Amino acid sequence: MSNVARRSAGSSLSAFYRVAAVSVGLLAGLQASAHHSVSGQFDVSKKIVLTGTVEKVDWVNPHIYVHLKVTDEKGASAVWALGTVPVAMARKAGVTKESLLAAGQTVKVTAYPARDGTQNLGFLIRIDYPDGHFVSVNPDRL
């Protein structure tokens, strides 16, 4: 485990989220997307919560990647690469690259960690903003 703030997310999630983000999911794109399972790459039995600032968003297919800079209590920082939905899905929902960047504000991200042991790699399933609103993804429906 990396030296970043990391804890079980179970107790902190709202009732809405507990309904929304549950099980193993699969990825699909707009048209002729290829696909593989989220669970083939990420450990969907573990949820981690990371708090930090979004340094960069790779607005690319097949999956958007959010790069989150996380600093622990000792001042050590790490940048997490967090995959999430394809661009077409985000666009359809009204999520933009700018909204993910959050203008440098501190955000809380819930994610599944990588199964292959790669540090600082995860799948973003929820992002909470300082104003209280959030965006969630149910990987079961991807």
Partner 1 sequence: MNATRSIRGISLVVLIALSSGVVAAEKKMPAKPAPDAFKRLSDGHPDLNGVWENDGLSFINPQRGADGSVLCIVGCPQPKAADGAAAAAPPPRMAAPARPKYKEEFLAKVKDLNERQVKTDPALNCGNPGVPRIGPPAAIVQTPGQVVFLYSDLAGSFFRIIPTDGRPHRADAEDTYLGDSIGKWDGDTLVVEAVKIVDDTWLIDNGAFHSASLRVTERLRRVGDKLEYQATADDPQVLSEPWQMRTRTLRQSREPLAEPVACVEKDLAHMVDGSHHDNAR
Q: Is residue 130 at the binding interface for partner 1, with CB under 8 A as the rule?
A: no
| Cβ nearer to partner 1, comparing 58 with 72 | 58
Q: Is residue 36 at the binding interface for partner 1, with CB under 8 A as the rule?
A: yes
Q: Is residue 141 at the binding interface for partner 1, with CB under 8 A as the rule?
A: yes
Q: How many Å apart are CA 11 and CA 21, to the nearest integer?
A: 14
Place of tokens 């933009």: 96
Q: Which of 3, 39, 51, 120 binds partner 1 (CB under 8 A)?
A: 39
Task: Pick the closest to residue 137 from 90, 102, 73 (CA basis).
Answer: 90
* 37: DSSP letter: B
Q: How many Å apart are CA 39 and CA 112, to the nearest integer?
A: 9
Q: Which stretch binds partner 1 (CB under 8 A): 3-11, 19-27, 47-55, 69-77?
A: 19-27
Residue 52's Cβ-count burial label (10 Å; 0-12, 13-18, 19+) is buried
Q: Which stretch binds partner 1 (CB under 8 A): 2-10, 72-80, 94-102, 103-111?
A: 94-102
Q: Which residues pair with 80 in a beta bridge?
A: 68
Q: Which of 8, 33, 77, 119 binds partner 1 (CB under 8 A)?
A: 33
Q: How many Å apart are CA 67 and CA 27, to the nearest integer?
A: 20
Q: How many Å apart are CA 125 and CA 17, to the nearest integer?
A: 10
Q: Which stretch binds partner 1 (CB under 8 A): 2-10, 61-69, 72-80, 102-110?
A: 61-69
Q: Which of 32, 74, 75, 103 binds partner 1 (CB under 8 A)?
A: 32
By the criterion CB under 8 A, which residues form the site for partner 1?
Answer: 16, 19-21, 24-26, 28-37, 39-41, 58-63, 65, 81, 83, 85-95, 99, 114-116, 118, 121, 133-142
